[in-house]
Amino acid sequence: MKEKIFINARLIDPSQKIDEKGSIILDQNGKVKAIGKNIKKSDASSSAEIIDVKENVLIPGIVDMKAFVGEPGYEYKENFRTLSQAALAGGVTSIVTMPNTKPIIDNVSMVDFIIRRGRDKASVNLFPCASITKQIEGNLMTEFGLLSSRGIIGFSDVNKTIQNTELMARIMDYASDLGVLIMQHAEDYELSKNACINDGEIATRLGLEGVSPIAEKIIIERDLSLLSEYPCRYHINQISSKKSLEVIKKNKNNGKKFSVGVSINSLSLNENDIGEFKTFLKISPPLRTEEDRLSLVQGIKENLIDVIVSDHLPEDEESKRLPFAQAATGAIGIETLLPLALEMHHNKSLPLEKIIETLTINPSKILKINKGSLKKGSDGDICIFDLEAPWKLDAEKLKSKSKNTAIEDRKLQGKVMMTFLNGKLVYSQ
């Protein structure tokens, strides 16, 4: 592979506090050789390939901490190839995949299978999770140490919560000893049973069972209390409400070490968008009020929320076009993660560097992986996007196998132009 130099770029790398016009050089192995405003063409070898970024923004490849891939068992919804294509079109170069496949990733043979299959078929960096409990049933712990040694990045029961407090204490105790990452979905089962929408006026009007933000808050309060006794690597997959933020703020101010995620859906939509039973907006946790949405944006600004995830969950059309209560939960989002996040820059809710930070270096630090940065020696995973390019979302043109986007026909501003993985061009507009 030839050396590459990217010129005329707006370089943004929060890991180095860089936001400047300049150049970046990748060596023959696809690693970052040099970056900054002082880099000139003459610093690259005479045979180097010159890529003119044309004043567009160049950032580290995005790290998505929560996405579902359909292999094995649900290949009709998504597979490694289609997930990779969608991710790269969205500037995402590293993905944490969830274990709710069929069979579930809860044993060594499944881990070996998923890593081998991913290596053969995926064209992105894959970091698989295993389930916290066997079969995601919330009863028996999986073998954290053994599974970690085989390549598991963290443990999650996906959209199910560990309800049993004694079990959760034991999980955190073991996780503390072994140094593994626990990723919890916060939603009390009894309070959320049969619910499919935020509890409130809209739920009443539509005649649907609602779930209060209290269900989320209770689990967060419990887990953070346990964290005082068992200080493990603990991550809340995604929060959705102002009430949860209040608890998080209090605990972070008291010095507790944990991390928090939020879905891009919760930052860009609210319960009013559901309208008359739009099932493509049925997600978990549910869309909350506009006040909640604004609080979450503020939570990112105040460093209470660390990462933004796509919560990419493909579902076939038949399972979404049902009565709201019966429709499948989830929406695709990996390809539109960045453009939606950029809305917060365009409407001046958040600084651009802060948005990029939540998508690159922050998830990398939580996961303890060498991604999300363009420091010298780092992998040449790069996303180049036009910050101002306007476009309208057409679900049929998305790369995912399933088309259940929550933002069909939405007008967006900001489009990925090129994506590089280890220095190789893997997507071009």
CATH number of the CATH domain containing 321: 3.20.20.140
Question: Range of 36's domain?
Answer: 4-58+379-388+412-428
The pLDDT value given to residue 175: 98
pLDDT tens for 46-81 read 999 999 999 999 999 999 999 999 999 999 999 999
Q: For the chain, how big is the Rg over CA atoms in Å?
A: 21
- DSSP-based three-state secondary structure for 119: helix
Same domain, 349 and 419: no
Half-sphere exposure of 139 (CA within 13 A, CB side): 3
Q: What is the pLDDT of residues 167-181, one digit of tens each?
A: 999 999 999 999 999
395 within some domain? no
pLDDT, mean of residues 418-429 = 97
Exposed e or buried b per residue across 251-288, where buried means at least 16 C-beta atoms within 10 angstroms of its C-beta: bbeeeeebbbbbbbbbbbbbbeebeeeebbbbbbbbbb
> What angle, 0 to 180 degrees and rounded to 10, lies between the N-to-C axes of helices 337-346 and 352-359?
160
**Residues 193 and 285 both lie in one domain:** yes
Per-residue model confidence (pLDDT) at position 107:
96
What token pair was written down for 332? 């695709």
Residues 35 and 45 in one domain: yes
| Residue 13 among the catalytic residues | no
Q: Quick one: pLDDT at residue 115?
A: 95
Give the up-direction half-sphere exposure of residue 315: CA atoms within 13 A in the CB hemisphere. Answer: 21
CATH number of 19's domain: 2.30.40.10
Same structural domain for residues 39 and 95? no
Mean pLDDT of 242-266: 97
Q: How confident is the model at residue 212 (pLDDT cuts 50, 70, 90)?
A: very high
Residue 216, in any domain of the structure: yes
The tens digit of pLDDT for each residue in 349-380 reads 999 999 999 999 999 999 999 999 999 999 99
Distance between CA atoms of 172 and 212, rounded to whole angstroms?
26
DSSP codes joined into one string, 235-280:
EE-----HHHHHHHHHHHHTT---EEEEEHHHHH--GGGGTTT-GG
Instruction: Please pick, among 27, 311, 381, 386, the residue that the annotation labels catalytic.
Output: 311
372 in a domain, yes or no?
no
pLDDT at 55: 97
Residue at 244 is within a domain: yes
- Rounded mean pLDDT of 221-229? 98
User: What are the tens digits of pLDDT across the range 302-355?
Assistant: 999 999 999 999 999 899 999 999 999 999 999 999 999 999 999 999 999 999
Within-domain flag for 394: no
* Mean pLDDT, rounded, for 386-391: 97
Whether 275 and 419 share a structural domain: no
- Residue 358's pLDDT is 98
Per the domain annotation, does 404 fall within a domain? Answer: no
Residue 167 lies in a domain: yes
Question: What does the pLDDT read at residue 404?
Answer: 96
Give me 396's structure tokens: 């049929």
Say whether both 343 and 383 belong to one domain.
Answer: no
At 16, is the pLDDT very low, low, confident or very high (cuts 50, 70, 90)? very high
Whether residues 137 and 282 fall in one domain: yes
Q: What tokens does 95 get?
A: 């993905």
Total-model pTM = 0.97
Indicate if 335 and 424 belong to the same structural domain. no
The amino acid that residue 271 corresponds to is E
- pLDDT score of 352: 98
> Residue 267: inside a domain, yes or no?
yes
